């Protein structure tokens, strides 16, 4: 037994780097798994524009959904409005955390409506920069979202007082996650910025860990545990620590 790995891909837009996206699509096919795709419903972030604009984007997404892919809403405009890390402070910036409840609900409802217009309905939310606060969670609940792809841990969990929301943890450090004997985690892939050397690494990881990889749809079937406030505080501290380690790395 060892830890199972599900995969999520962030920053999915009509003008993403399609060559890299297809590279991963092939890798998933070879491995026999399907990932979670985080679609930006109304992208205004120029940093995410990395390829030609595909008019048939939503047809491609719906086709992948039919093949077993899971779809999530990744923010609204993907523009960072605040320097607030929120409840899971991996980064000190957010599209949502720190804004009023009303403003957040407006943004989230806009994103949801945009997806719906294009034939996509999902109850899974993926926060840009992993940052959300209490108001984000409240607004998501109000709009009918029930799952969040974030947090640390080895199985899906529900945290008080957000009983209607289930969190599906992501990997703190993939290397150390792989050594764990049980549980499930999420490998986070940003295909837009992947280099040729990174692709080789991913090929190696997928061929070495293929047997432990599961489709995201399988991950969603796992029964969540309920976490208390101490676990929530530990998660907050771990996210702060990771942010500290990443900024140290930048200086070395």
| Binding of Zn ion by 133 (CB under 5 A) | no
The least CB distance from residue 50 to Zn ion, in Å, is 12
Output the furthest CA–CA distance in the chain (Å, rounded): 47
Which CB atom, from 13 or from 215, has the smaller least distance to Zn ion?
13
Q: Please count the residues of this chain forming the interface with Zn ion, following the rule CB under 5 A.
A: 3
Q: Which of 10, 95, 133, 150 binds Zn ion (CB under 5 A)?
A: 10
The least CB distance from residue 170 to Zn ion, in Å, is 13
Binding window for Zn ion (CB under 5 A); candidates: 3-11, 59-67, 140-148, 232-240 = 3-11
| Strand order, beta sheet including 4-12 | 184-189, 4-12, 36-39, 70-74, 124-126, 147-148, 166-167, 157-159, 225-227
Residues in the chain: 252
Q: Which of 11, 133, 150, 235 binds Zn ion (CB under 5 A)?
A: 11
Which residues, 6+ apart, have CB-to-CB distance to 135 below 8 Å? 96, 99, 100, 101, 104
Which CB atom, from 3 or from 96, has the smaller least distance to Zn ion?
96
- 197: helix, strand or coil: helix
The least CB distance from residue 38 to Zn ion, in Å, is 7
Which CB atom, from 5 or from 189, has the smaller least distance to Zn ion?
189
Which CB atom, from 11 or from 235, has the smaller least distance to Zn ion?
11
SS (H, E, C) 87-124: CCCCCCCECCCCCCHHHHHHHHHHHHHHHHHCCCCCCE
* Half-sphere exposure in the Cβ direction for 84 (13 Å, CA): 16
Q: Which of 36, 40, 39, 30 lies closest to 7 in space, CA to CA?
A: 36
* Residues between 93 and 132 that touch Zn ion (CB under 5 A): 128
* Residues between 193 and 212 that touch Zn ion (CB under 5 A): none
Which CB atom, from 4 or from 167, has the smaller least distance to Zn ion?
167
Which residues, 6+ apart, have CB-to-CB distance to 190 below 8 Å? 9, 10, 11
Residues that bind Zn ion (CB under 5 A): 10-11, 128
């Amino acid at each position: 037994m060892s830890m199972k790995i599900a995969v999520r891909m962030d920053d999915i837009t009509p003008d993403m780097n399609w060559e890299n996206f297809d590279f991963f699509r092939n890798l998933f096919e070879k491995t026999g798994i399907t990932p979670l795709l985080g679609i930006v419903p109304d992208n205004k972030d120029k940093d995410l524009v990395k390829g030609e604009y595909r008019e048939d984007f939503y047809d491609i997404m719906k086709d992948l959904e039919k093949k077993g892919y899971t779809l999530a809403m990744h923010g609204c405009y993907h523009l960072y409005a605040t320097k607030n890390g929120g409840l899971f402070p991996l980064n000190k910036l957010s599209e949502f955390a720190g804004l009023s409840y009303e403003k957040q609900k407006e943004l989230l409802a806009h994103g949801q409506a945009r997806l719906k217009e294009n034939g996509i309905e999902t109850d899974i939310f993926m926060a840009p920069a992993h940052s959300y606060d209490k108001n984000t969670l409240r607004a998501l609940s109000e709009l009918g979202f029930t799952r969040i792809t974030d947090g640390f841990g080895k199985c899906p969990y529900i945290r008080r007082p957000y009983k209607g929301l289930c969190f599906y943890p992501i990997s703190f450090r993939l290397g150390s996650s792989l050594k764990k004997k049980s549980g499930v985690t999420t490998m986070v892939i940003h295909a837009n910025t992947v280099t040729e050397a990174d692709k080789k690494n991913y090929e190696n990881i997928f061929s070495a860990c293929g047997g432990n990889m599961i489709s995201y749809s399988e991950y969603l079937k796992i029964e969540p545990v309920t976490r208390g406030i101490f676990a929530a505080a530990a998660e907050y501290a771990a996210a702060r620590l990771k942010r500290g380690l990443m900024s140290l790395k930048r200086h070395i």
